[in-house]
């Protein structure tokens, strides 16, 4: 509900003209109003139908917005096109999209089938400045903004989200160093990523600790001027190839110690003795790490690990946006080619409604993503908007991929067509870097806290 309200406000703030965006605003705002009123009544329970409470009137009032000045069904029929961007943004996106179409699209299916790591593409992306573009210039990087990085991720994901992740996967690993590292650490590890097409990984998740990060059991024991690390990490993106790892380990042996004081963050070089790894799992067996590789202060690792998500979740959302964009393009193309009952299926209202729903959610998830990235650029810490973008874009990608397969019909399950892979790829966005359920918890906690202080959710 909050996602919907926020996205409509962004559209209004953008001051975009034309029937396309005014239709999106009217359609989504009216549908959101009805859903918000219905949810409010549900939360009130039986009291929601009592005129002594305000919400029953809200539900009655909401319905007219789906009817007057054009029904919601009428507004689903407007055509699809891509929003305007600034000249700089268009140039960045054009470069990334050209790379996606020429270097990624032709070979994506091959890599999907073989499971090989796309080193050739990764190296080409690095040479063009499309890999780790957010690394500041003083450390040898392109120095692009988070918004520009989101444009690149979106475009690369249009080609293939898996290959995009191979290129941009180090973003999560480098974020804690960017946020909490000292100058020596930044110069060494960010500079390394900027100068060579290498990978870095974020090692937090464990076999028994995913969404519950406080359940991390990997231990760090201080011995002289070193720490000895023992434990196992799971689902490590790029773990089989990473040159260094951001790692969270429990440094306080007291199991009752609060998360904010129990963990320490480390940078661990990939060739350190005692590291055993495969594609996704990293095992640390008496791995000795110098105290100089502690990231931030000892005992503050949990804060460092969590702060990275506000910086990286807009990028994850951008990947989901790119997938939704590709799903919409593929579905629109197929709908204009495939004929049933003597005409292209694009002329059938049922198909038009699916395409229009995909377009509406794509544009809104894109705007939410750009807003979250903009907050990072302004150095405004906003878990609220980062979670909104990640949650809404992930859900949108899954619905877009499902609709695309539906429009393709039986061909949607055929690997000769691209949409079955889109549906497989979409699901991960509701899981990694915080599940959609975790995002909703974050959103709800923050809006409730804000409301308690301000008696409104507007302006959060």
Give 182-215 as a DSSP string.
Answer: -HHHIIIIIHHHHHS---EEEE--BTTBSS-GGG
- Catalytic residue status for 56: no
Who wins on pLDDT, 10 or 297?
Answer: 297
Average confidence (pLDDT) over 265-277: 97
Per CATH, the number for 316-454 is 1.20.140.10
pLDDT (0 to 100) of residue 9: 47
Per-position DSSP letters for 302-341, written without gaps between them: HHHHHHHHHHHHHHHHHHHHHHHHHHHHHHHHHHHH-EET
Average confidence (pLDDT) over 6-33: 60
Q: What's the rounded Cα separation, in Å, for the pair 187 and 177?
A: 10
pLDDT (0 to 100) of residue 70: 59
**Is residue 7's pLDDT more than 50?**
no
**Is residue 241's pLDDT more than 90?**
yes
Average pLDDT, the chain: 88
Q: Catalytic one among 103, 154, 300, 433?
A: 433
Per CATH, the number for 87-173 is 1.10.540.10
pLDDT (0 to 100) of residue 216: 93
Those residues with Cβ within 8 angstroms of residue 313's Cβ, 6 or more apart along the chain or in another chain? 372, 386, 387, 389, 390, 433, 434
Average confidence (pLDDT) over 187-201: 97
pLDDT (0 to 100) of residue 79: 32
**Is residue 12's pLDDT more than 70?**
no
Who wins on pLDDT, 226 or 377?
Answer: 226
Q: What percent of the chain has pLDDT over 90?
A: 70
Average confidence (pLDDT) over 158-167: 97
Those residues with Cβ within 8 angstroms of residue 40's Cβ, 6 or more apart along the chain or in another chain? 48, 55, 58, 59
pLDDT tens digits for 425-446? 999 999 998 899 999 999 999 9
pLDDT (0 to 100) of residue 57: 80
pLDDT (0 to 100) of residue 77: 37
Tell me the three state secondary structure of residue 343: strand
Who wins on pLDDT, 351 or 12?
Answer: 351
Domain extent listing, the chain = 17-75, 87-173, 202-302, 316-454
Average confidence (pLDDT) over 237-244: 95
Per CATH, the number for 17-75 is 1.20.140.10
Q: Sorting pLDDT into bands at 50, 70 and 90, what band is 379?
A: confident
Name the helix (H) or strand (E) containing 286.
strand 282-290
Q: Sorting pLDDT into bands at 50, 70 and 90, what band is 83?
A: very low
Q: Looking at the DSSP assignment, which residues form a beta bridge with residue 277?
A: 282
Fold held by 202-302 = Butyryl-CoA Dehydrogenase, subunit A; domain 2 (2.40.110)
Q: What's the rounded Cα separation, in Å, for the pair 202 and 169?
A: 9
**Is residue 6's pLDDT more than 60?**
no
Fold equal for 17-75 and 316-454:
yes
Residues 397, 35 contacting (CB under 8 angstroms): no
Average confidence (pLDDT) over 119-147: 96
Tell me the three state secondary structure of residue 298: coil
pLDDT (0 to 100) of residue 458: 82
pLDDT (0 to 100) of residue 362: 95
**Is residue 67's pLDDT more than 70?**
no
Average confidence (pLDDT) over 371-377: 89
Average confidence (pLDDT) over 13-21: 54
pLDDT (0 to 100) of residue 8: 45
């Amino acid at each position: 509900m909050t996602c919907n309200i926020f996205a409509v406000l962004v559209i209004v703030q953008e001051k975009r003209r034309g029937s396309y965006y005014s239709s999106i605003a009217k359609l989504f705002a009216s549908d959101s109003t009805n859903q918000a009123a219905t949810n409010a009544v549900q939360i009130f329970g039986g009291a929601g139908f009592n005129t002594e409470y305000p919400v029953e009137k809200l539900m009655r009032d909401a319905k007219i917005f789906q009817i007057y000045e054009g029904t919601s069904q009428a507004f689903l029929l407007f055509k699809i096109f891509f929003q305007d961007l600034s000249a700089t943004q268009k140039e960045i996106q054009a470069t990334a999209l050209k790379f996606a179409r020429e270097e990624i699209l032709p070979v994506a299916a091959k890599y999907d089938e073989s499971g090989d790591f796309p080193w050739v593409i990764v190296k080409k992306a690095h040479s063009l400045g499309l890999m780790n573009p957010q690394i500041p210039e003083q450390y040898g990087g392109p120095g692009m903004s988070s918004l520009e990085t989101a444009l690149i991720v979106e475009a690369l994901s249009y080609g293939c989200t898996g290959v995009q992740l191979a290129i941009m996967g180090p973003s999560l690993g480098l974020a804690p160093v960017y946020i909490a590292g000292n100058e020596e650490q930044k110069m060494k590890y960010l500079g390394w990523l900027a100068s060579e097409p290498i990978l870095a990984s974020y090692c937090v998740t464990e076999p028994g600790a995913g969404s519950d990060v406080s359940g991390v059991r990997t231990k760090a024991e201080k011995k002289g001027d070193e720490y000895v690390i023992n434990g196992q990490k799971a689902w490590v993106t790029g773990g089989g190839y990473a040159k260094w790892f951001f790692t969270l380990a429990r440094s306080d042996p007291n199991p009752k110690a609060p998360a904010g004081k129990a963990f320490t963050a480390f940078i661990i070089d990939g060739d350190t003795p005692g590291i055993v790894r495969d594609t996704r799992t990293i095992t640390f067996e008496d791995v000795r790490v110098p105290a100089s590789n502690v990231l931030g202060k000892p005992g503050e690792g949990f804060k460092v690990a969590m702060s990275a998500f506000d910086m990286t979740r807009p990028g994850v959302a951008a990947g989901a946006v790119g997938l939704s964009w590709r799903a919409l393009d593929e579905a629109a193309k197929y709908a204009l080619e495939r004929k049933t009952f003597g005409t292209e299926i694009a002329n059938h209202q049922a198909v038009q409604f699916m395409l229009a729903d995909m377009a509406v959610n794509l544009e809104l998830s894109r705007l939410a993503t750009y807003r979250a990235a903009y907050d990072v650029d302004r150095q405004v810490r906003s878990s609220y908007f980062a979670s909104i973008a990640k949650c809404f874009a992930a859900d949108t990608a899954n619905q877009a991929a499902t609709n695309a397969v539906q429009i393709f019909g039986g061909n949607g399950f055929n690997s000769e067509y691209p949409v079955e892979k889109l549906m497989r790829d979409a699901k991960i966005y509701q899981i990694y870097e915080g599940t959609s359920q975790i995002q909703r918890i974050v959103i709800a906690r923050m809006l409730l806290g804000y409301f308690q202080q301000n008696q409104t959710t507007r302006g959060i």
